[in-house]
Structure 1
Amino acid sequence: MANDISAKLAVLIDADNAQAAIVEGLLAEVAKFGTAHVKRAYGDWTGTSLRSWKEQLLAQSIQPIQQFSYTVGKNATDAAMIIDAMDLLYTGRFDGFCIVSSDSDFTRLASRIRESGLTVYGFGERKTPKPFVAACDKFIYTENLAEPVEIAPVESPVPSPSQLRGDTSLMNLIRTAVEAASGDDGWAPLAAVGHIITKQRSDFDPRNYGYPKLGGLVTAIGLFEIERRDTGDGKPAVIWVRDRRRRPEKRVTAD
């Protein structure tokens, strides 16, 4: 799943289920994947529970979609989002959808959109049920997008290299991806490694481990070689990675 900034995206936000504080970071993240041609936020705007959203709607040019809560315990907002998503899908004007919610009700919607060949980016809290996370091509936890506050809460320390190396799931994920993307010499483009990792685990994000970029995480682990190679055509250098276990042995030649 390569990022294409020319991709046309529809951003659908379950305002009943997401925090207004993430909006700026959310749209910045969306911009990495394409251009948001549609930005809609769904909820009951007649009440007071969504008051914090109203300033963001104006500042970010997000269209509010009114949805009354007809019955207590039934989420009419989810149904409205699903209907609109299918209507937008059928127009054939979009390359992908961004679904912002931590609700498992959108699992089938994500699967249906992907069945049509479009990319689905999910955004939700860490409590998001795994089926919805897995149904998306890429899932970003909104805790990584929240704006920092003046008095920051106590955060968990960044894992040490030994802790990272002791994370069997993480190590298997990265090593398998490096092996899959590598040539005979064991070297693999880091971008290809990240692409494979996302295919295997849609919610993978180096920020979950305290690193803004995959390169920083791989370097911190200390078990991989990293090289930055110039392409020679004026384009940015390409980062390559190799498992140190693949380092070729020196050949012994007879005199």
Structure 2
Amino acid sequence: MVQPSDLLAVLVDADNVPPSKIGAVLTEVARFGTASVKRVYGDWTQPRLSSWKTGASEHVVQPMQQFANTVGKNATDSALIIDAMDLLYTRRFRGFCIVSSDSDFTRLASRIREEGDTVYGFGERKTPDAFRNACDQFTYLDVLEEPAAEPAAAAPTRATGAMLRADTKLVAGLRTCVTTASDEEGWAHLSAVGGLMRKHQPDFDSRNWGYTKLSDLVRATGLFIVQPTAAGGPRVQSRKNNGG
């Protein structure tokens, strides 16, 4: 039985998201809870959105019509924001999934979080920092596996150890989080490290570097020791004198 605490609202900006991505997005959303509301917003009188018809129907996403009444004004964004606030005030949902690469939703994400709900953002890599950082978690569309996509195009090329070590933001973030979560012997639960990384960098995802698992990404840097534990979850420790 679905509990109220599992319910999520998925709101998609059709102007900023291709319909080919909706299946992969909903598969990812299922990891976090149940998509009780699924809506996609756009001016469906516009020919450029006609390709959404098949995707919306296949995945049972409700199209929400919003005419572009004034040139230069994004009425679609306004409609999505108004509906999001209406849904928020029902207190039925644990979280909101905002699928867009538009910075116009930055304040919406912040407002939802002020109410204690979780915000999951999905968008392209061009998404402005402001919107990405306003979300609790942000996932790039290109790392999501699409059922109809060619295997080679499903995810970014896996970064080598040298490439990972050259990524100063990644290395600094991992080292800081390992230190913060570590015990007296310097060991930290990898799950805790991953959680801290998400808090500091909402768009952090091991798939951004071509690694399915966080443990594989951390191990590939060559800067940390990763070991399994009796409890099942791996632990991690910074290597000493690694010169990195």
Same fold (TM over 0.5): yes
- CA RMSD, 1 decimal: 2.1
Q: Deviations over 1:120-162 (max 9, x none)?
A: 0111111111111111111111111252634956987432212
Percent identity, aligned pairs only, is 55
> Which deviates more, 144-153 or 210-219?
144-153
Q: How much has 1:46 moved relative to structure 2?
A: 2.3
Distance of aligned partners of 1:152 and 1:229 in 2 relative to their CA distance in 1, 3 Å threshold? closer
CA drift at 1:16:
1.2
Output one character per residue of 1:99-136: Cα deviation in whole Å (capped at 9) or x when no partner: 01111110000000001111101111111111111111
Task: Find out whether 1:86 has 2:72 as its counterpart.
Answer: no
Distance in 2, matches of 1:201 and 1:43, equals 30
In structure 1, the residue matched to 2:240 is 245
C-alpha distance in structure 1 between counterparts of 2:60 and 2:153, whole Å: 30
Distance 2:203 2:64 in 1: 28
Query: 2:160 matched to which residue of 1?
Result: 160
The structure-2 alpha-carbon separation of the partners of 1:100 and 1:225, relative to structure 1 and needing over 3 Å to count, comes to same
2:15 corresponds in structure 1 to: 16
* TM-score, length basis structure 1: 0.88
Counterpart residue number, 2:65: 66
2:173 aligned residue: 173
Distance 1:129 1:112, change over 3 A: same
Measure, in 2, the Cα distance between the counterparts of 1:59 and 1:176. Answer: 44
For the residues of structure 2 that align with 1:219 and 1:146, how far apart are their CA atoms?
A: 23
Structure 1: which amino acid aligns with 2:235? W
The correspondence of residues 105-116 of structure 1 with structure 2, limited to 5 A, is 105-116=104-115
Structure 1 residue 7: Cα displacement: 2.2
Q: Is structure 2 residue 117 aligned with structure 1 residue 118?
A: yes
Amino acid in the other structure paired with 2:67: F
Residue 97 (structure 2) pairs with residue 98 (structure 1)? yes
* Farther off after superposition, 85-94 or 56-65: 56-65
Give the secondary-structure state (helix, strand or coil) at the position aligned to 2:89. Answer: helix
CA contact (8 A) 1:5 1:31 kept: no
In the alignment, the residues of structure 2 paired with residue 155 and residue 34 of structure 1 have an alpha-carbon distance, to the nearest angstrom, of 24
Aligned to 2:207: 207
- Match for 1:70: what amino acid? N
Q: Mark the structure with the bigger radius of gyration.
A: 1
Q: 2:130 aligns to what?
A: 131
Count of residue correspondences: 238
Distance 1:184 1:151, change over 3 A: closer
Secondary structure, counterpart of 1:173 in structure 2: helix
Aligned to 1:251: none
**Paired residue secondary structure (1:49):** helix
Checking the alignment, whether the CA contact within 8 Å between 1:21 and 1:146 is kept in structure 2 is no
Give how far 1:181 is off: 1.0
Unaligned 5+ runs, structure 1:
232-236, 247-255
- Structure 2 gaps of 5+ residues are none
Q: How far off is 1:50 after superposition?
A: 1.4
Residues 187, 237 of structure 2: 8 Å contact kept: yes
